[in-house]
Amino acid sequence: MPPMTDFHAPSPAFGDPPLDAAAALRWQVAAGVDIAVGETPVDRTVAAPPAMPKPAPAEAPLPAAAPPLANPPAVDPGFAQAADLADLRARLEAFDGCLLRRTATRTVFGNGPDRARLMVIGEAPGADEDRSGEPFVGRAGQLLDRMLASIGWPREAVFVTNVVPWRPPGNRTPTPEEVTLCLPFVLRAIELVAPQALLLLGAAAATAILDTREGITRIRGRWHSLERPAAGLSIPVLATFHPAFLLRFPDKKALAWRDLLEIKARLGGPAV
């Protein structure tokens, strides 16, 4: 290390090149350099070897073809040709094109009058419905019963079903493929019941029946129309929150109540 007096010797400004080794050292000390960062000295007077060219990146493999659906459609079960609800139920029980039926305990067809003035469609059966074979019998079903009764429509006056008649494992949301496979069944059920109004519960039912990508918060509270020209039907449709959602978010019940009042007004009073 040079003597202390060397550190106070005149040195070039920071922007000037050092004149010799001692001057370079003084310049670095003045700049605040007080530690070496390498194990061996580097001779900066020797040109650095040319950088090795970087290897060309390997070509990305071509994307694999999309795998086939795990749940391919089966032969058309003829839902559209069902003569009545009993015939439709028999065709649904014989339908093996949706893998959900292989993990479910029961087929949940629906219940209510064959020609109900009000038809309610939910998403899919839960564990209680899977055990009983009836739609909306758990806590969400009990809330639905109270909701309908509050506008003068007892459950026995309403036809209730789901867009998917089999419980998805773990109560998950049905996939778009599963809904698409089951939609012909639901549409034929609507044609056979021929309700004066249709109430859709939750996003899965609303997006399937109305063929829209809008969320339930945008769809609900607005009247829509389901056109079934082959059956000569034009049915008013209203969507609202699913009762299971209302159990988790009770602050939304006020909005659901407004929707129920719309149903009551459209139907012109309580069930007869």
Residue 205 and residue 183: Cα distance in Å, rounded?
10
pLDDT in the model for residue 207: 94
**Segment 122-180, tens digit of pLDDT:** 999 999 999 999 999 999 999 999 999 999 999 999 999 999 999 999 999 999 999 99
Helix, strand and coil percent figures for the chain, each rounded to 5: 40, 10, 50
**Segment 180-222, tens digit of pLDDT:** 999 999 999 999 999 999 999 999 999 999 999 999 999 999 9
Q: What is the CA radius of gyration of the chain?
A: 36
pTM of this structure: 0.72
Query: In CATH, what number is assigned to the domain containing residue 90?
Result: 3.40.470.10
CA distances from 16 to 13, 25, 29, 31, 63 (A): 5, 13, 14, 12, 57
- Identify the band that residue 235 occupies on the pLDDT scale cut at 50, 70 and 90: very high
Is residue 9 in some structural domain?
A: no
Residues 6+ apart with CB under 8 A from 150: 257, 260
Q: If you average pLDDT over every residue of the chain, what do you get?
A: 84
Please give the tally of structural domains in the chain. 1
Is residue 168 in some structural domain?
A: yes
- Identify the band that residue 51 occupies on the pLDDT scale cut at 50, 70 and 90: low
Is residue 36 in some structural domain?
A: no
- Identify the band that residue 36 occupies on the pLDDT scale cut at 50, 70 and 90: low
DSSP 221: T
Is residue 1 in some structural domain?
A: no
- Identify the band that residue 11 occupies on the pLDDT scale cut at 50, 70 and 90: very low
Is residue 85 in some structural domain?
A: yes
Domain assignment of residue 216, given as a range: 79-267
Is residue 7 in some structural domain?
A: no
pLDDT in the model for residue 69: 41
Q: For residue 226, what is the enclosing H or E element?
A: strand 224-228
Is residue 100 in some structural domain?
A: yes
Is residue 181 in some structural domain?
A: yes
